[in-house]
Structure 1
Amino acid sequence: MGRRARPKESLDTELTDLPPALRWREWMGRVEAVIFASPAPVTREVLARVVGRDCSIDRLIDDIRDELRGRPYELVAVAGGWQHRTRRNFAEAIRAAIGAGNDGKALSQTEALILACIAYYQPINRSELSSFFGKEVSRDTIARLRALEFIAAGPRSPQLARLIRK
């Protein structure tokens, strides 16, 4: 015996059976849940799908922000939408908890330029990098970028000498 498919229920966005205060709290909970669950900023159009027609999303966001005062995270406007973000003053605690404290990942200007060049011209090898910069790119620099897991070995670009040889 197979299971019967449930009839698809549509979300009651108007919530007319609730008193105004409870309706507002439900809308706040829905909006906060949608923003919390999303890996990307949530736009006004997406939030409008879970609240009533007469709901002011801006006022709702303001009320959620007020409730989050004093919490380690906040609701911020980002890229045309809203997203939960950890407050800056908790950055050190987070780094310590995940073991990402001062682990030497700060790049020198030369390393940053080499990394940018690799990202733009990949696949590229060390000799091509050296010709691009007009000076020898150290094996140690490449090894450090690999150790920091910024770069890895990948496909090789076809070179003229390789194409001619049989």
Structure 2
Amino acid sequence: MSETERQVEALLFAAAGPLSEQDIADRLPAGSDVPTAIAALRARYEGRGVELAEVAGRWRFQTAQDLAFLMTEEREEPRRLSRAAQETLAIIAYHQPVTRAEIEAVRGVQASKGTLDVLLELGLVRMRGRRRTPGRPVTYGTTDAFLEHYGLASLADLPGMAEMKAAGLLSLDLPADFSVPNPAGLDPEEDPLDPHEAPEFHTDFLGEAEAGR
């Protein structure tokens, strides 16, 4: 094992979260070949109880998936999403950037403001920008936390409908014409949000909460 491999291994084991290649390179001596070291470590740990995995463009050591059952009693029970939240998250993941009205059109029911707020609070969804259409509605997309939670390297790795249901992310029969989104930046028909702007969605929700409704 090369010295660079040892250094990368030490950093990844000690890190509190996934690290990008640039994060690792910033901590190593100048000229260190981080991509080669990562590739070597990934091969070295393949098939072992701990493996090197890429999530959201970053790297971390994690328990091999086939051994996850051993950790069941030691894991904190995750907060379970309601069916409405699961369906909303699935629609956002496959249709992003998507507006609230578009979410309602796919689900066939009115989107609860509380449901969207839960997804925003958990960091699985973020506000991306405003659609260049009348009313300039806010659009939503998934976050790196979404990719990390479901163990995806990028949006291009989103599973098929059957796999989504098996993973517990999807529990309804949505249209079969879902397409994997382009993980690039803003849509050409989308304007960035002003950081000082209070989207009407949050304003409405907070207003209802303060009124006790």
So what's the TM-score if we normalise by structure 2?
Answer: 0.37
Larger radius of gyration: 1
> Which structure has more strand as a fraction of its residues?
2
- Between 1 and 2, higher relative CO (CA 8 Å, sep ≥ 6) is seen in 2
